[in-house]
Amino acid sequence: MGAERQRRRTLLHRLDVRGAPYAFVAPFFVVFAAFSFYPLIYTSWISLHRVELSTLNLMEWVGFDNYTALWDDDRFWNALFNTFTIGVLSTVPQLLMALGLAHLLNYRLRGSTFFRVAALTPYATSVGAAALVFTMLFERDFGMINWMLSLVGVDNIDWENNKWAAQTAISSIVIWRWTGYNALLYLAAMQAIPRDRYEAAAIDGASRWQQFLKVTVPGIRSTIVFTIVLSTIGATQLFGEPLIFGQGPNGITGGADNQYQTLGLLLYEEGWKNYQMGRAATVAWAMFLVLILVFVVQRVVKRVLARKA
């Protein structure tokens, strides 16, 4: 009897030690399976069919037709290119400005908490509200930006219909929203850099700028990489800003000439304007593959550079 109880206890003990960790992480994976993995698989299944939103139960098998059609579709390449250019236009200035802002916030200054909170405020604003306000600012006839430009003698710019103007305007919404957020990430990393490094640098006669380049930037390198990864993902998924910037039918198609249609908008147009869920799912998978491709390329480049060094 005693042996029996002993055995059961060991079994329970083993189950406890081995099983409990799985039970603890289970909720995430169950939610992940339901809301990420299953949709992923289902999306790939849909992408092999011709199916309309209103009649989701009627699916017609078309194999990889949607993929080849997408490959031949000018709109896809246009959207891919726009996603890339808007991504560069918004990410690069945003991260540079965040770095500068973080550097300034890192100085001992009065009311630093106020400035830090202020830097984060745009991030707390909803995409919709920010995009709407910027749309009004960039309005052609009565927008504030054009009014200010007219003061220095620049003619009215048609922000929406001019390709690069539109992309710049959309990028400015992204920059406005995310600069402060990235700055705070940098700031946190900067504060972990030991003070004595700066002191040593100062004794060696390094100027503020040299300190920034030689001490600060190398000190927060991993954070910079992290923000680049985050921003790249964010740029690939860019959707709300251009949608609201254009408003109505033009928002969905990214301008009358698709001049600022991103991959996210193309997906929306196929799915929720043309109601072709198969084609929309194909765009979703294309986006996924593009992201994977970007990271593979980045790894290869990194490895090649490391080997050279």
Among 49, 50, 140, 197, indicate the residue that binds other proteins (CB under 8 A).
140
Of 16-24, 96-104, 114-122, 202-210: span binding other proteins (CB under 8 A): 16-24
Read off φ and ψ for residue 249, nearest 5 degrees.
Answer: -55, -35
Q: Report which secondary-structure segment, H or E, holds 131.
A: helix 127-137
Using CB under 8 A as the binding rule, whether residue 10 contacts other proteins is answered as no
Pick from 249, 82, 95: nearest CA to 168: 82
CB of 291 to other proteins, least distance (A): 25
Site track 29-48 with other proteins (rule: CB under 8 A), x = hit: -xx--x--------------
Convert 274-304 to b/e letters by CB count within 10 Å (16 or more is b). eebbbbbbbbbbbbeeeeeeeeeeeeeeeee
In sequence order, what DSSP letters do the residues of 69-92 get, joined into one string? Answer: HHHT-HHHHHHHHHHHHHHHHHHH
Looking at residue 238, its amino acid is L
Could you identify the residue written with the tokens 């001490």?
215
> Cβ closer to other proteins: 160 or 241?
160
Site track 185-224 with other proteins (rule: CB under 8 A), x = hit: ----------------------------------------
Near other proteins in 247-306, by CB under 8 A: 247-250, 252-253, 256-257, 259, 272-275
Read off φ and ψ for residue 252, nearest 5 degrees.
Answer: -65, -40
State the residues that interact with other proteins by CB under 8 A: 12-13, 16, 19-20, 23-24, 26-27, 30-31, 34, 53-56, 75, 135-136, 139-142, 158, 160-161, 247-250, 252-253, 256-257, 259, 272-275
